[in-house]
A and B are shown apart, each in its own frame.
Chain A
Amino acid sequence: MISYILRRLVAAVILLLVVTAVTFGIFFLLPRLAGQTADQLAQQYIGKSPTPADVAMVKHNLGLDQPVYLQYWHFIKGIVTGAEYNLGPTTAHCDAPCFGYSFKNHVAVWPELTDRIPITLSLAVGAAVIWLVAGVTVGVVSALKPGSFFDRSFMGVALAGVSLPIFFTGQLALLLFTYQWPIFGRTYVPLTTNPAQWANTLFPAWCSLALLYSAIYARLTRSGMLETMNEDFIRTARAKGLPERTVVARHGLRAALTPIITVFGMDLGLLLGGALITERVFSLHGIGEYAVQAINDNDLPPVLGVTLLAAFFVVLCNLLVDLLYAAADPRVRLS
């Protein structure tokens, strides 16, 4: 068990290295293959009409005059040991884990990320709880009476939920419940400051995001339950004389939910890397928003930071899923 986790963690570190290498490669090699020089790259980060001396200085300060593999090495080294950054007139020390300084506005990346992680985390986890509870409940009830009025109407709503984009449902929720009838708050408040306010502000965002996912989960749960309730072991459970509620909960749901763990872990992992559209619509300054801004600015260190963070969450959630799965299904052996 422990050796399994250790092996998975080593594999995760290697994977993260590969992810950063690929991100590096895309950022530097592709423009270079397209004919862009380091000078042209550096010019993006200076004001209008720079002198050649300015360009040379910026190029040097950002490390763009070094070979790509050295820049990569400095980046990785910075994460582990911290690094010194030359910001022109001054030098700044950046403690480990150092994800570098923004090329554009010379701000350290790591504090930006740590400021934004709680927001993205709040959004993702809150929505996940709602969609898991709503999706599974609807799925189970639908599966127990397939073809009933309830089943049909909820599956219809689910279909609509999957089809409606978040920039539609989100705007609608904002328009109605934040502006027309101001039930919910407009500005994000950290959980630690005021939990009620925190939940109040995030609620429309949670629901918009959850609508999208709960539709998928309702369908997943429904089909899983339909299949499970036809299993032989359900017949056995009934033959024992168990009340139907016990049969459904302890025997049916238990087996139907296990595969959902996998999907849930992956979805949550992806969301923790930033829910771009939702964050934009609800003006939440999370990871996703940061990523969009960094990409617009062609700002490598934040892009790398966000990519690495997102990849880390995906890897972490996958590991947790595998551990949970092994705990839930005794037939699965970790090796």
Chain B
Amino acid sequence: MTELSKTGAAVGEPVAEGPSKPPTAFLEVRDLKVHFPTDDGLVKSVDGLSFKLERGKTLSIVGESGSGKSVTSLAIMGLHRLGARGKNVKMSGEIWLDGKELIGAAPDDVRRLRGRDMAMIFQDPLSAMHPYYTVGNQIVEAYRVHNNVSKKVARTRAVELLDRVGIPEPAKRVDSYPHEFSGGMRQRAMIAMSLANNPQLLIADEPTTALDVTVQAQILDLIRDLQKEFESAVVLITHDLGVVAEIADQVLVMYGGRCVERGPVEQIFAEPQHPYTWGLLGSMPRIDREQTERLVPVKGQPPSLINVPSGCAFHPRCPYADLPKGGITRTQRPELQEVGGDHFSACHLSPEDRTRIWTEEIAPKL
């Protein structure tokens, strides 16, 4: 935490092996693997993911459904191991939060961090809040798990939090049930709940997906303001590149459980270095361009996480898979390589090819 890179936060080089090496960033994930054994085979939801994140910065993890975004966030929170199916999950790698390693830690130690040092905002606040308890009750509960205070004190805190996230008449609304709130208000309440203990790490898993556009912008503003206020690190899971452009410092693109590209947000948008990222950018509607052409979806289906395609997992869908010689895209998995300051890409295309394709074929059409 002493050494901040230029962007502040960063996505460092792939971390060397060996658990002995101390973390250098506030949140550091090293070679994270989350595998779920099923009757059909081993589902490799996350298969070797590494990144770093500093306080006060936002990392956005993007990718299509099933790419491992949410599994990663739940892994950081230590939520995979809980419940009836928790025993089956196979996790390896390291997750360092503020100098503490979480994967090898005792479950109860991780529980004590959960909700206090790291908190999570979920996608659909209606289903994520308990229908039988008032919003205030649920915030009080979140506060009192980690603070030995009376219900009255915690209630005051709940009202204060609801006020902070912009809920009108918080002293009255504190006794409302989740179903009595509108969608945007519910998400605000959810955020208030996650902020109950001023967490240093806030993980937001598609926080705006269930909301309409105007409310989306308000919620993003709110998250950004709160981040400034509390100097929290934010991991934002989304498939919406518009959201990424608005809020992220760093971007990590996931495909088939692995990182295919990561770097500072300006670079990802200005000079993306992976065909999948190009595909994502091409499928994003933009208001600053004339709508002459249809949006281009990324062709094909997301890869199976049980039988991941050999070589580069993206090759069956990649229009440039035949460009590198010797069919290397089908046989050898590309490793992350630095392609610019703090910018990494896992692709077999040569840097020249990539620059040419991006500037001549892709960028003009966006």
Residues in chain B near residue A144, CB distance under 8 A: 84
Give Cα distance in the complex from A241 to B112, angstroms. Answer: 6
Residue of B nearest to A231 (CB): B127
Contact B131 A145 (CB under 8 A): no
Find out whether the CB atom of B84 lies under 8 angstroms from the CB atom of A237: no
Q: A222-243: which residues lie under 8 A (CB-CB) from chain B?
A: 226, 229-243
Residue among B116, B124, B127, B131 with the highest chain A CB neighbour number at 10 A: B131
Roughly how many angstroms separate A237 CA and B132 CA in the complex, as a whole number? 13
Chain B residues near A226: list those with CB within 8 A. Answer: 84
CB distance from B199 to the nearest CB of A (A): 10
Name A233's contact: one of B74, B131, B142 (CB within 8 Å).
B131
Residue pair A331, B130 in contact (C-beta under 8 Å): no
In-complex Cβ contact of A329 among B74, B119, B127, B131 (8 A) = B131
Inter-chain CA distance A241–B82, complex, in Å, is 11
Q: A112-127: which residues lie under 8 A (CB-CB) from chain B? A: none
| Interchain nearest-CB distance for A262 vs B (Å) | 15
Cβ-based interface call for A39 (8 A):
no
| B157 at the binding interface (Cβ < 8 Å) | no
B234 to A: closest C-beta gap in Å: 15
How far in angstroms is the closest Cβ of chain A from B37? 13
Contacts of A230 in B (CB 8 A): 83
B130 x A233 contact (CB < 8 A) = yes
B177 partner residues in chain A, CB cutoff 8 A:
330-331
| B53 close to A (CB within 8 Å) | no
Determine whether A254 belongs to the interface, using a CB cutoff of 8 Å to chain B. yes
A59 within 8 A of B: no
Q: Does B98 sit within 8 A of A, measured CB to CB?
A: no
Do most interface residues of chain A lie in helix, strand or loop, or is the interface mixed?
Answer: helix
Chain B residues near A145 (CB-CB < 8 A): 84
Contact of A255 with B by CB under 8 A: yes
Is the Cβ of A328 less than 8 Å from the Cβ of B132? yes
Q: In the bound complex, how far is the Cα of B85 from the Cα of A226, in angstroms?
A: 11
Chain B min CB distance to A107 (Å): 51
Interface contact A255-B82, CB-CB below 8 Å: no
B114 at the binding interface (Cβ < 8 Å)? yes
Q: How large is the interface on B (under 10, 10 to 19, 20 to 34, 35 or more residues)?
A: 20 to 34
Q: Does A84 contact B (CB under 8 A)?
A: no
A219 on the interface (CB 8 Å rule)?
A: no
Query: Residues of A contacting B127 with CB < 8 Å?
Result: 231-233
Given contacts A144-B84, A146-B84, A232-B124, contact A240 B132 (CB under 8 A): no
B115 CB contacts on chain A under 8 angstroms: 239-242
- Complex Cα–Cα for A143 and B134 (A): 27
**Interface residues in A47-96 (C-beta closer than 8 Å to B):** none
Residues on B with C-beta less than 8 A from A247 are 82
Q: Are A330 and B131 also in contact (CB < 8 A) when A232-B124, A235-B122, A240-B145 are? A: yes
Contact present for A239 and B120 (CB under 8 Å): yes
- B225 shortest CB reach to chain A, Å: 22
How many whole Å from A279's CB to the nearest CB in chain B? 38
Task: Evaluate contact between A241 and B128: CB separation under 8 angstroms.
Answer: no
A146 to B146, CA, bound (A): 31
A39 to B74, CA, bound (A): 81
**Is the interface on chain A under 10, 10 to 19, 20 to 34, or 35 or more residues?**
20 to 34
Which residues, 67 to 119 on B, are CB-close (under 8 Å) to A?
74, 77, 79, 82-84, 111-116, 119
Closest beta carbon of chain A to B4's beta carbon, Å:
29
Q: How far is the CB of A199 from chain B (nearest CB, A)?
A: 35
Known contacts A144-B84, A146-B84, A232-B124: A238-B79 contact under CB 8 Å: yes
User: Shortest CB–CB separation between residue B94 and chain A, in angstroms?
Assistant: 21
Q: Is B174 an interface residue (CB 8 A)?
A: no
Q: Would you call B142 and A235 a contact (CB within 8 A)?
A: no
B61 at interface, CB cutoff 8 A: no
Do the beta carbons of A243 and B130 come within 8 Å of each other?
no
Inter-chain contacts of A232 with B (CB < 8 A): 122, 124, 127-128
CB proximity of B243 to chain A, nearest CB, Å: 21
Q: Which residues of B contact A328 (CB under 8 A)?
A: 132
Residues of B with C-beta under 8 A to A254: 130, 132
Residues of chain A within 8 A of B83, CB atoms compared: 229-230, 234, 238
State A243–B24 Cα separation when bound (angstroms).
31
A184-210 contacts to B (CB < 8 Å): none
B129 at the interface (CB under 8 A from A): yes
Structural contact, A229 and B130, CB atoms closer than 8 A:
no
Q: Are B113 and A237 in contact (CB under 8 A)?
A: no
B179 close to chain A: CB less than 8 A: yes
Cβ of B193 under 8 Å from chain A: yes
Shortest CB-to-CB span from A145 to chain B, Å, is 6
Q: Is B141 among interface residues, defined by CB-CB distance under 8 A?
A: yes
B77: A residues at CB distance < 8 A: 239
A331/B112 in contact, CB under 8 A: no
What separation, in Å, do the CA atoms of A241 and B194 have in the docked complex? 11
A5 to chain B: closest CB distance in Å?
22
CB B144 to nearest CB in A, in angstroms, measures 10
B173-202 contacts to A, CB under 8 A, are: 177, 179, 193-194
Taking a contact as CB atoms under 8 Å apart, the answer to whether B130 and A251 are in contact is yes
Question: A243 and B124 in contact (CB under 8 A), knowing A229-B83, A330-B131?
Answer: no
Chain B residues whose C-beta falls within 8 Å of the C-beta of A237 in the assembled complex:
130
Chain A residue with Cβ nearest B115: A241
Q: How far is the CB of A208 from chain B (nearest CB, A)?
A: 32
Q: Which of B131, B145, B194 contacts A331 (CB 8 A)?
A: B131
Q: How far is the CB of A254 from chain B (nearest CB, A)?
A: 6
- 9 shortest A-B CB distances, which residue pairs? A241-B115, A241-B114, A232-B127, A240-B115, A233-B130, A240-B142, A232-B128, A330-B177, A239-B120
CB pairs A–B below 8 angstroms (21 shown): A143-B84, A145-B84, A226-B84, A229-B84, A234-B83, A235-B74, A236-B128, A236-B129, A237-B130, A238-B79, A239-B77, A239-B79, A239-B119, A240-B193, A241-B113, A241-B114, A241-B142, A241-B145, A251-B130, A330-B131, A331-B179
Given contacts A244-B82, A255-B132, 17 further A-B contacts (CB under 8 A): A144-B84, A146-B84, A229-B83, A230-B83, A232-B128, A233-B130, A235-B74, A235-B128, A237-B130, A238-B82, A240-B115, A240-B141, A241-B111, A241-B116, A241-B145, A258-B132, A330-B132
